[in-house]
Structure 1
Amino acid sequence: MATDGRSPRSASAPAPAAALEGTGFVHVVARADGDALAASGLLARALAARGTAYQVSVARTVADRTARIADRELAADDATVAIGAVDAPDIESYTRLDADDRPATLAALETVRELDATPDHGLALAGLVAAGVEPGAGESEWVLEAAAERGLVERRPGVAIPTDGPVDGLAHTTRLRAPWSGDVDATRDALTTLDVALEDDLETFTSDDHRAIGSLVALDAVGDDAAEPIAAETIQRALRPYATPEGPFATIGGYADVLEATAREEPGTGAALAMGHDARDPALDAWREHGRRAHGALSSASTSRYDGLFAIGIDDGPVEAVARLAAATRSPEPTVLVTADGEAAIATRGEGALGATVEAVARELAEVGIDGVAYDGGRRRGYLRYDASVDRATIVQIVRDRR
């Protein structure tokens, strides 16, 4: 496993937009998360508008992306764009779109504008939310303003979910955690206490209907015996969503949730969705399965607490989603480590990128002779893959030592 000499992009590579000028074919290799998926979709749509052929592939680890770039033989007018870190200091045939400490979606928006293309503002906002950026915050202010001016988003009461049905949306979302999360029947039972027609579509609901649902969800999420104080902040980010009247999903936050889910469960479907293809139904199927598995794994997890670190052990489930959910709702510590057989994930509520930490853990595992070590890291998240024979206590100890 190569870990040294990693750089944001190859030393002689031009800026992304310049690297794409005059190209006949572009291969985009993206990190497996919602932010990178959105960035790849924004870039792909800009290339399509220019008549440039392209291919988007999603790779789970730094090693996976490196192999895809290194193994590809490029024609004279081909270009490769990486979204996410690559261990390729000696490969000069690619350009890194993003940086470790900034959402890939923002970098993609800059490149798209430099290519004189108009970005899909709904996709961009969803990518930013997936990256942990509130719509309109910081550099994203112009994106929200442009979307609002075009009538693409409108803020309303309620909860950020992707589906038109509230029971389905709330049962499977990973943007919040309540006692009924992951269970459709339990979610329906909780909502039947309200005077709301649950089988109707959200678009037919009144503002009072949305407010009633939002209030119940907030009370259940914060009032859950297992909830930590951070859950109150998390639920606030899921309330008063930006609805998308013409978008593929009901809200921007729900769109982001689907991007995150498909990036891990069915990356090909996620890439197709981000590129603008008709992939809504399979994407929602993947999202439902992702949410069900994540909530189920967290419900049956074992936990241990250390200074600054909350360790969670699960038998099966999407480790990254479980780590993100726990950090946002269940962890008394700012950093969460989730371990399963042969893989682990780290999530943090802090602002720093976790790439260096995960890389150091991966290096230490490789140095002691562990097979199959691979990793990936980004803003507030990290992923590890290793031989399933490694004891979970070993992973916990290494992460504790490296924090």
Structure 2
Amino acid sequence: MATDSRSAEPASAPAAEAIGSAGFVHLVARADGDALAASGLLARALADRGTPFQVSVGPTVADRTERVRDRRAAADDVTVAIGAVDADATRLDTDDRPATLAALEAVRGLEASPDHVLALAGLVAAGVEPGAGESEWVLEAARTQGLVDRRPGVAVPTTDPVDGLAHSTRLRAPWSGDLSATRTALEELGVDLAAPDAFDSDAHRTIGSAVALDIVGDDEAVPAAAETVQRVLRPYATADAPFATIGGYADVLEATARTEPGTGAALAMGHDAREPALDAWREHGRRAHAALEAGSTGRYDGLFVVGVDDGPVEAVARIAAAYRSPESTVLAVADGEAAIATRGGEPLGATVEAVARELEEVGIEGVAYDGGRRRGYLRYDPGVDESTLIQIVRDRR
């Protein structure tokens, strides 16, 4: 439910100051890859210090608020929110800056050593190119330690390119979501798919070039696809990490945050959760591409709408905005939930909160929402008329 005030504003003092002497820390995270990585960075620092902690992941402001309020805190307990909450908590991040960067500052304030590969994956999930802006030192540290190396190819989590490309939600090609079709497309390249660990630069380059051509040459691709696909080419390969590339790691974080948050949290904390995380990622990618393929579409002034019968609306909206939408803003609508995604970098928290308020004002029940960088999520009574939601979002865009 949308509320009239927010009591948990971003903390003026570093989060490290709030949790440095805590007896117990409750981390309550937004359900996306950036926030999941931030929670993992903090959790690892707390574990190194011997400070007990708990990580909770909530897909809406109301869900996170309930988790904070339901817990009986001791005098030396501290609750850190990664994402907005309507309760008494220390807010780690701000709406216009990746939570991963805020977590890195807190970890350094605790005099702990962050996992630079996890941090880079969180930044990519937040839409930040590794090494750009404030992240330059993170990439440099990872390179200095020999943790990452840029190479030709495509950013997927697995060494098997068929598996990685078919299930990735960071790209959209004619074969996306279909293992058999992906394999057929790659077999035509003359690359030995049975020995991906032996791929040299030429093999990776061949696959990357073919993927780019398939994406931009798709009849349904929009001009923006040519720019978007550049973000998944020439990936940062990892030397000793759960997944083959930084971009692939980010894709898994995004998938698990929405579908298997417990698995995602365990992964971010450094536990051995690679296989269940990959299983969740595969199912998430398959469903997202199938939903986009089968979905209905409508174009409005400044808004592209995708109607989804069954599928992860946030992933559908994100993929459509990147590769299929002639408009910069996409609304994906399913039964009782919707997602907003944009190609721009503006935060959507205020927009989705305003949409939630207006839905309540016209009598819609069960409204809950969340917003972050370039994404917004809504949950509501399934009986709501789709045209009502579309009109409200149009008015707010």
- TM-score in terms of structure 1 length: 0.97
Deviations 1:188-218 (A, max 9, x none): 00001011111223x3101110011001100
Deviations 1:357-402 (A, max 9, x none): 1101111111222111000001100000001011211111110112
The whole-number CA distance in structure 2 between the counterparts of 1:273 and 1:369 is 40
What is the SS of the residue equivalent to 1:148? helix
Calculate the aligned-residue CA RMSD, in Å. 1.1
Q: Which runs of 5+ in 1 are unaligned?
A: none
The whole-number CA distance in structure 1 between the counterparts of 2:347 and 2:209 is 34
What is the SS of the residue equivalent to 1:17? helix
- Name segments (4+ residues, structure 1) moved above 4 Å: none
Tell me, yes or no, if the aligned pair for 1:109 and 1:124 is still in contact at 8 Å.
yes
Amino acid at match of 2:53: Y
Q: Which runs of 5+ in 2 are unaligned?
A: none
> Shift in Å at residue 7 of structure 1?
5.0
Aligned length: 397
Alignment partner, residue 4 of structure 2: 4
Alignment partner, residue 102 of structure 1: 97
1:315-326 aligned within 5 A: 315-326=309-320
> Shift in Å at residue 108 of structure 1?
0.2
> Shift in Å at residue 307 of structure 1?
1.4
The whole-number CA distance in structure 1 between the counterparts of 2:71 and 2:193 is 51
The whole-number CA distance in structure 2 between the counterparts of 1:101 and 1:206 is 39
Alignment partner, residue 394 of structure 2: 400
What is the SS of the residue equivalent to 1:269? helix
Deviations 1:262-306 (A, max 9, x none): 001100000000000000000000000000000000001111111
Deviations 1:70-114 (A, max 9, x none): 1211111111100001123xx3xx200000010000000000000
> Does 1:332 pair with 2:331?
no
2:144 to 143, 149, 158: 149
Tell me, yes or no, if the aligned pair for 1:15 and 1:95 is still in contact at 8 Å.
no
Alignment partner, residue 224 of structure 1: 218
Tell me, yes or no, if the aligned pair for 2:10 and 2:93 is still in contact at 8 Å.
no
Alignment partner, residue 82 of structure 2: 83
The whole-number CA distance in structure 2 between the counterparts of 1:298 and 1:270 is 24
1:184 to 174, 179, 197: 179
Alignment partner, residue 279 of structure 1: 273
Amino acid at match of 1:40: S
What is the SS of the residue equivalent to 2:63? helix
- TM-score in terms of structure 2 length: 0.98
Alignment partner, residue 240 of structure 2: 246
The whole-number CA distance in structure 2 between the counterparts of 1:4 and 1:141 is 38
Alignment partner, residue 21 of structure 1: 20
The whole-number CA distance in structure 1 between the counterparts of 2:382 and 2:351 is 21
1:362 to 334, 356, 365: 356
What is the SS of the residue equivalent to 2:57? strand
What is the SS of the residue equivalent to 1:345? strand
> Does 1:258 pair with 2:220?
no
> Shift in Å at residue 10 of structure 1?
7.2
> Shift in Å at residue 9 of structure 1?
2.5
Relative to 1, partners in 2 of residues 1:335 and 1:216: Cα closer, same or farther, differing over 3 Å? same
Amino acid at match of 1:277: H
Relative to 1, partners in 2 of residues 1:169 and 1:299: Cα closer, same or farther, differing over 3 Å? same
Relative to 1, partners in 2 of residues 1:10 and 1:113: Cα closer, same or farther, differing over 3 Å? closer
> Shift in Å at residue 15 of structure 1?
3.2
